[in-house]
Amino acid sequence: MKEIKEFIKEFIQKEYLFNHAEYDMMVEDDECDEKANIVNNYFHEYNSPNYNRVTSIIERRGNEKWENRYAKKMNKIIPRTLFQIKQYHSFELGDALQRIVTGKDLYACYVSYPSKGGRALYFSSIFYVSETNEGMKIIYEKSFDSDAGKWYHPVDVDVVTVISEGNLVAVEKYQTPEEETSLADYNK
């Protein structure tokens, strides 16, 4: 699992750098695009979330309202916390994911949100990682609804979904979550 931990930690760091650059008035659009492409390359193209700067920084520079808003957003950005990684065998994937996954292992990487909030530290996502026809990639992201205390599939299309995680083979724990539902899930 060392390789998976290194992979997801690298992703977390690159995502943090992009998230910061997205709202940094001093970072030009092309530099921000380069950082976005680096983050997007951690995902298989079938399920890439397409990180990008939505509006050109040129349109925002010099506008006090936007500069203040971006400064506040930048102050909230933090690297995600990696709580644990679970390794699975005999997993079931949607048709599209079956065609791209070449490895026998599926890794579930439990992480926090990439920004500060007013709540206790808790799960926000599971990034599923596996060996694919494009190399080691994040193939799917499952989200956590902290208000309902439930995991849900943000993509409602079975062909690109992890349908069943299969048999748990190993778990590595790194950081204990503080929120009650996340803690109960962590201690399973």
**pLDDT digit string (tens) for 12-67?**
999 999 999 999 999 999 999 999 999 999 999 888 788 999 899 999 999 999 99
Query: Same domain for 107 and 177?
Result: yes
Query: Same domain for 131 and 69?
Result: no
Q: Which region among 16-30, 89-103, 139-153 has the lowest average model confidence (pLDDT)?
A: 139-153
Range of the domain at 36: 2-76
Query: Same domain for 18 and 33?
Result: yes
pLDDT at 160 over 90: no
Mark which of 13, 42, 76 sits at the end of a domain.
Answer: 76
- Residue 15 backbone dihedrals phi, psi, to 5 degrees: -65, -40
Exposure of 152 in the CB half-sphere (CA atoms within 13 A): 10
- Could you tell me what percent of the chain has a pLDDT over 70? 99
pTM: 0.94
pLDDT at 146 over 90: no
- The structure tokens listed for 121 are 């530290």
Query: Same domain for 52 and 87?
Result: no
Query: Same domain for 86 and 65?
Result: no
Domain count, the chain: 2
Mark which of 48, 76, 104 sits at the end of a domain.
Answer: 76
Query: Same domain for 6 and 86?
Result: no
Query: Same domain for 91 and 33?
Result: no
